[in-house]
Amino acid sequence: MNWGIFEGLLSGVNKYSTAFGRIWLSLVFIFRVLVYLVTAERVWSDDHKDFDCNTKQPGCSNVCFDEFFPVSHVRLWALQLILVTCPSLLVVMHVAYREAREKKHREAVGEDGGRLYLNPGKKRGGLWWTYVCSLVFKAGVDTAFLYVFHSFYPKYTLPHVVKCHAAPCPNTVDCFISKPSEKNIFTLFMVVTAAICILLNLVELAYLVSKRCREGLAARRARATGGGHRPDCPTSSYKEDDLLSGDLIFLGSDSHPPLLPDRPRDHVKKTML
């Protein structure tokens, strides 16, 4: 396993995350990915080999194992971790797209031709929506997998003895799971960490939405204050808020309305003549 890839990914995503996002990433990579790679795979490596049933009927043990373990814990966790970490990569890719677009714009118009983005990594415009959607997706994935785990394994625990009566078993047989107590401990640990990750995603989502609402209210108040003094000329603070709140900016491209003559009637007469 090349840990440098995970380290580079963690530093790249942390660069554009909030404080809650950094805590979430640390929790995922340390308490979920690391535990999965180092411990969980070894604990579940003998689940099929040591699944014993008190019968010698050929095929009975395989059928009972498939009935009780339709999907392995480790494979579900692997799929869950892949789907949970993918949205963070989308945020990094969106920032890279912004930086490439800004670079092409500078090469085309020069350094004095204005900028498309004040800060490509700032969560404004499309990047804000990408980040918010990634939070919703991550919380939804963890919630869906917790539901799947509960539907397959009620109360997220494994019994010591499994009653099986599926064909070709001659009658109801008793099957025994390997190391059920140890597996229950790691299952509950992964479930608790997933629940904490969902809570962090929801808290970060509420923080971003509330911050955006406060900025919108502040912009409206600045607009109302500026409009009360000079209705035909926006204030500099209001203009700065508009530049910061938008996704794209074009500096130095303000167009002014044409100047009207002092006496419009005389101008109309001269035009008609």
Please check whether residue 222 lies inside any domain of the structure: no
CA distance 254 to 248: 14
Confidence at residue 10, expressed as pLDDT on a 0 to 100 scale:
58
Instruction: Say how far residue 36 (Cα) sits from the centre of its chain.
Output: 20
The pLDDT value recorded for residue 193 is 94
Scan for tokens 């508009």, then name that residue: 242
Query: What mean pLDDT comes out for the span 220-236?
Result: 61
> Which domain, by its residues, includes 78?
8-214
Q: Per the structure block, which two tokens stand in for 153? A: 């394994």
Residue 207 lies in a domain: yes
CA separation for the pair 264, 107 (Å, rounded): 45
Tell me the average pLDDT of the chain. 77
Residue 264 located in a structural domain: no
Q: Is 238 contained in some domain?
A: no
On whether residue 249 sits in a domain, the answer given is no
User: Would you say residue 1 has pLDDT above 60?
Assistant: no
Domain total in the chain: 1
Residue 129 in any domain: the answer is yes
CATH number reported for the structural domain that contains residue 73 in this entry = 1.20.1440.80
Asked if 135 and 201 touch (Cβ cutoff 8 Å), the reply is yes
In this predicted model, what pLDDT tens digit does every residue of 197-216 receive, in sequence order? 999 999 999 999 998 899 88
In a domain, 73, yes or no: yes
Identify whether 252 is part of a domain: no
162: β partners: 175
Tell me: the pLDDT tens digits for 28-54?
888 888 888 888 878 887 777 778 888
Tell me what the mean pLDDT of segment 213-224 comes to: 88
The letter for the amino acid at 225 is: T
